């Protein structure tokens, strides 16, 4: 197949910042697609058709593919394969049909301005995504590069950091980086005085917190008081044991059935980049707690289904793992979850009552797996001394789906 599509990364400095191959690809193209800002960087050229991306952007791919076989050039910001259109187009066009010519990304330029090794810096996209994703990464000494959604993002980020106890963090905002209009704004999050700025910006953050700020690890088993809850919470030690058995891997999907305050789904997503979770919870007040907790703990993209299993499970994407924390005694819930589970997937179900434990024993006879009972006692005051107070034991069933049956 002949190469007909070239994706050219371009910066704020326009053609002057491009290499010879990229400039030639632009000059030789019969059709150029790009955003209004990128197209404005090019000088006029007779006989060349220039098309702006449509709105909504979902129509862009059909318009582009309609020119298959012609010499087409797509303009993209910086590196097209790093949070850029190159990744989307590579799913539509086979590699032999296109070539990609990257330029330095805004992130590379910002890291260079800051003197930060890029491999040691965490990237947080906030354009088209919730800013609360920053909460996942907050810890003293962490360096972040945040891709802004608009000119108000830096002020919103400064307020978020301050509210989380990171008001002493140093912010550096780079507007229109790499071009003649580049501007840099510096300050502390708690003293940030710029309400708005240029819409095209990104933010470098050096995280600093006060001595009484408690950063939260991304490892499983957050403190119970990290969550807003009404008591319907898988407690810390049981939660850690449960997540160890669920064993999250990058890109996998979890169903958290009877999610309560959402702790299992939240920590599943915190544990591995790219993990996804769906929390199924019928109680509206607990659903509201999930909505708050997912933002507070940095995984605002956890999906919430307000409904009761098994009916609420219909139409959901097949999971790699399922946790049943509530609704175990409802007819058909365990069977529907097992049926939907992908081959090689893990099912973990927890029981506290005698009745729900009996269901786990019966379920094990049908699908196999391991039963584990965990009993935890904590030291607490007993007169002038301390004594052990035992929590109710919890029984865990862990089963792996070995085939499609």
My answer on whether 87 and 158 are in the same domain is no
My answer on whether 39 and 95 are in the same domain is yes
Name the domain count of the chain. 3
CATH number at residue 131: 3.30.950.10
| Domain-embedded: residue 266 | yes
My answer on whether 302 and 374 are in the same domain is yes
CATH number at residue 79: 3.40.1010.10
Q: What is the length of the chain?
A: 405
Q: Phi and psi at residue 120, in whole multiples of 5°? A: -100, 10
My answer on whether 152 and 292 are in the same domain is no
My answer on whether 237 and 197 are in the same domain is no
What is the C-alpha R_g of the chain? 26
pLDDT at 326: 87
Question: Are the C-beta atoms of 262 and 277 separated by less than 8 Å?
Answer: no
Nearest to 135 by CA among 261, 265, 294, 272: 294
**What does pTM read for this prediction?**
0.91
My answer on whether 267 and 322 are in the same domain is yes
| Domain-embedded: residue 218 | no
pLDDT at 393: 95
- Residue spans of the chain under pLDDT 50: 405
Residue 266 CA neighbour count, 13 Å, CB half: 33
Domain span including residue 336 = 224-400
My answer on whether 50 and 157 are in the same domain is no
| Domain-embedded: residue 212 | no
How far is CA 369 from each of CA 167, 342, 358, rounded to the nearest angstrom? 48, 16, 15
Q: What span, in angstroms and rounded, lies between the C-alpha atoms of 161 and 201?
A: 18
| Domain-embedded: residue 213 | no
My answer on whether 130 and 258 are in the same domain is no
| Domain-embedded: residue 373 | yes
pLDDT at 57: 81
pLDDT at 400: 97
pLDDT at 59: 85
| Domain limit, last residue, from 51, 84, 104 | 104
My answer on whether 22 and 124 are in the same domain is no
Nearest to 139 by CA among 169, 115, 173, 107: 169
| Domain limit, last residue, from 65, 88, 104 | 104
Nearest to 1 by CA among 64, 95, 101: 95
Question: Are the C-beta atoms of 22 and 8 separated by less than 8 Å?
Answer: yes
| Domain-embedded: residue 252 | yes
| Domain-embedded: residue 61 | yes
My answer on whether 294 and 229 are in the same domain is yes
pLDDT at 8: 97
| Domain limit, last residue, from 61, 86, 104 | 104
| Domain-embedded: residue 217 | no
My answer on whether 151 and 174 are in the same domain is yes
Q: Phi and psi at residue 5, in whole multiples of 5°? A: -115, 130
Question: Are the C-beta atoms of 354 and 385 separated by less than 8 Å?
Answer: no
- Kindly provide the residue ranges of all beta strands, DSSP E only, lying in 3-68, ordered along the sequence: 5-10, 31-34, 49-52
């Amino acid at each position: 197949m002949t190469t007909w599509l070239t994706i050219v990364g371009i910066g704020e400095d326009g053609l002057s910042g491009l290499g010879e191959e990229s400039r030639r690809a632009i000059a030789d193209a019969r059709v150029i697609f790009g955003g209004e800002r990128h197209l404005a960087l090019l000088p006029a050229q007779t006989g060349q058709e220039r098309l702006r991306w449509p709105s909504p952007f979902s129509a862009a791919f059909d318009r582009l593919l309609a020119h298959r076989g012609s010499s087409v050039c797509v303009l993209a910001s910086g590196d097209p394969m790093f949070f850029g259109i190159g990744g989307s187009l590579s799913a539509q066009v086979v590699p032999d049909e296109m070539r990609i010519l990257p330029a330095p990304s805004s992130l590379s330029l910002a890291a260079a301005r800051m003197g930060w090794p890029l491999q040691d810096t965490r990237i947080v996209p906030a354009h088209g995504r919730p800013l609360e994703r920053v909460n996942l990464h907050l810890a003293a000494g962490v360096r972040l590069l945040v891709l802004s959604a608009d000119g108000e993002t830096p002020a919103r980020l400064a307020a978020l950091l301050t509210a989380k106890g990171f008001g002493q963090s140093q912010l550096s905002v780079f507007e229109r980086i790499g071009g003649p209009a580049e501007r840099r704004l510096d300050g502390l999050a708690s003293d940030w005085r710029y309400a708005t700025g240029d819409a095209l910006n990104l933010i470098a953050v050096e995280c600093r917190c006060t001595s009484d700020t408690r950063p939260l690890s991304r490892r499983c088993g957050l403190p119970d008081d990290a969550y807003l809850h009404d008591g319907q919470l898988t407690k810390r030690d049981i939660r850690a044991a449960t997540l160890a058995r669920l064993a999250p891997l990058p890109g996998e999907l979890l169903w958290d059935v009877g999610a309560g305050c959402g702790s299992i789904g939240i920590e599943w997503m915190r544990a591995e980049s790219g993990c996804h979770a769906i929390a199924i919870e019928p109680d509206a007040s607990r659903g509201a707690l999930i909505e708050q907790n997912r933002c507070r703990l940095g995984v605002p993209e956890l999906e919430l289904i307000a409904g009761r299993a098994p009916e609420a499970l219909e139409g959901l994407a097949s999971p790699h793992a399922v946790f049943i924390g509530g609704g175990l005694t409802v007819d058909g819930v365990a069977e529907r979850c097992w049926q939907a589970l992908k081959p090689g997937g893990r099912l973990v179900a927890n029981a506290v009552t005698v009745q729900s434990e009996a269901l786990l024993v019966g379920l094990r006879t049908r699908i196999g797996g391991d039963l584990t009972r965990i009993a935890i006692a904590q030291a607490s005051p007993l007169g002038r001394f301390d004594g052990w107070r035992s929590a109710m034991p919890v029984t865990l069933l862990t089963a792996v789906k070995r085939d499609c049956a």
